[in-house]
Amino acid sequence: MISDKLTQEQVEGVRRLLEPAQKVVVLTHMSPDGDAMGSALALYWWLKATKDVQVIVPNVFPDFFNWMPDVDTILICEKDAAKAKSLINDADLLICSDFNEPKRIGQLGQMAMEATCPKILIDHHLFPSDFADVTISYTDVTSASELVFRLIYQITNHQLPITNYQEMATCIYTGLMTDTGNFAFNSNYPEVYEIIAILIAAGVDKDAVYNHIFNAHTEGRMRLVGYCLNNKMRIFPDCHASLIYISGKELYRFNFKTGDAEGIVNMPLSIKDVYYSVFMREDKVADWEKERANGSKTKIKISMRSQGDRPVNIFCQEIYNGGGHKNASGGEYYGSLADAVNLFLSNYEKYFKKD
Ligand code: 5GP
Ligand code: MN
């Protein structure tokens, strides 16, 4: 039996906001990952039977999500910001999924904050900001997708299946699987597997989802992985840490496409006695963030991972203006790659435990 994790107030709050809404817009975070895509599309499939639903993401997502059901209906704000703005202005309800603050969705954040319609936030990061009318925020779950499942489960009084059940379930499973590294971490409680049992009974082909996501890389990505591990990885044995950083020029050699760097940050953790891993890559500053970039043409995207009781979110927050989960965080640095690396080198000993 899956427990009712969401409070009655949350469930009733969502019911109250959903009932009169016809036009619903679902927003998720920058550089969408499997949980962002999965939770947003699961909400879409759930509501599609009775409402006019539109998912909007801030920027492009990797090709390995192209198989997801109705993925081609998603609007990418970076490609058509005017349309995103008009959809948000016309919406009766905004549902924000898998992010904790408007800053995490780029220019969509400002559009969402200017919208006068009610808002729901569904998230599993620390420190949710309080812009929403109903906030469903739990950090002790696998994913935002799990929270979407729990919401649907509770709001229907455990009366699954719903219309479009298999599509919804497939999207939920995608988020669960990707945010736990195929159930390698952050998934150590029985209810995760009870939920998975329900999803598989709903018709999810879990092996197919795995293949779509993890066995669908480009040749360039594979060679990039080899290059990063062989030529770029530095180990700091005193602090059990690893650092990989890569310039835009190097990425260009490997025909870099969105998503090609996904997962590289996790790899050094498979070395014995490496408990912290940091990956940095150089990116261009987009038009909408020029002001924030303060004259810099480059932005460094930082990803950090750790094992056990060794937080990396505090480092990301204090040094790179980012944040995230205890064992998986990120941030951005507007400036040169060398400066971002130097910031790491001058701070890691302070933050990383030596045990
Ligand atoms: P990734 O390394 O996969 O880009 O991100 C890992 C996690 O760190 C994400 O789930 C997200 O919560 C968080 N994260 C990544 N980048 C940022 C950032 O720039 N700001 C904040 N606040 N969190 C981030
Ligand atoms: Mn997530």
Atom of ligand 1 nearest to the CA of 99: 12
Give the model's confidence band at 137: pLDDT under 50 very low, under 70 low, under 90 confident, else very high: very high
Neighbours of 81 (CB within 10 A): 18
State which of 329, 332, 333, 334 you would mutate to test the pocket of ligand 1, scoring each by most atoms of that ligand within 8 A of its C-beta: 329
Residue 288, pLDDT > 90, answer: no
Structure tokens at 289: 């963030």
pLDDT digits (tens, 9 = 90+) for 96-107: 999 999 999 999
What's the CA-to-centroid distance between 327 and ligand 1, angstroms? 11
- CA-CA distance, 244 to 340, in Å (whole number)? 12
93-97 vs 23-28, strand pairing mode: parallel
Report residue 322: phi and psi, to 5°. Answer: -120, -140
What is the dotted CATH code of the domain comprising 219-351? 3.10.310.30
Residue range(s) in the chain whose domain bears CATH number 3.90.1640.10: 8-213
What's the CA-to-centroid distance between 28 and ligand 2, angstroms? 10
What's the CA-to-centroid distance between 179 and ligand 2, angstroms? 6
Atom of ligand 1 nearest to the CA of 179: 10
What's the CA-to-centroid distance between 322 and ligand 2, angstroms? 15
Residue 353, pLDDT > 80, answer: no
CATH T-level fold of 8-213: inorganic pyrophosphatase (n-terminal core) (3.90.1640)
Nearest CA to ligand 1 atom 24: 330
User: Could you tell me if 34 and 179 are in contact, meaning their C-beta atoms sit under 8 angstroms apart?
Assistant: yes
Residues with CB under 6 A from ligand 1: 33, 104, 125, 303, 322-324, 328-332
For residue 332, the model assigns a pLDDT of: 95
Residue 92, pLDDT > 90, answer: yes
- CA-CA distance, 80 to 122, in Å (whole number)? 25
Question: CA dihedral defined by 302, 307, 310, 311, rounded to 10 degrees?
Answer: 40
What's the CA-to-centroid distance between 141 and ligand 2, angstroms? 10
What's the CA-to-centroid distance between 139 and ligand 2, angstroms? 10
- Which numbered ligand comes closest to the C-alpha of 146? 2
Report residue 279: phi and psi, to 5°. Answer: -130, 130
* Peptide bond between residue 161 and the one before it cis (omega within 30 degrees of 0): yes
Give the model's confidence band at 44: pLDDT under 50 very low, under 70 low, under 90 confident, else very high: very high
Give the model's confidence band at 71: pLDDT under 50 very low, under 70 low, under 90 confident, else very high: very high
Nearest CA to ligand 1 atom 8: 329
What's the CA-to-centroid distance between 124 and ligand 2, angstroms? 7
Report residue 134: phi and psi, to 5°. Answer: -130, 125
Residue range(s) in the chain whose domain bears CATH number 3.10.310.30: 219-351
Nearest CA to ligand 1 atom 3: 303
State which of 33, 37, 104 you would mutate to test the pocket of ligand 1, scoring each by most atoms of that ligand within 8 A of its C-beta: 104
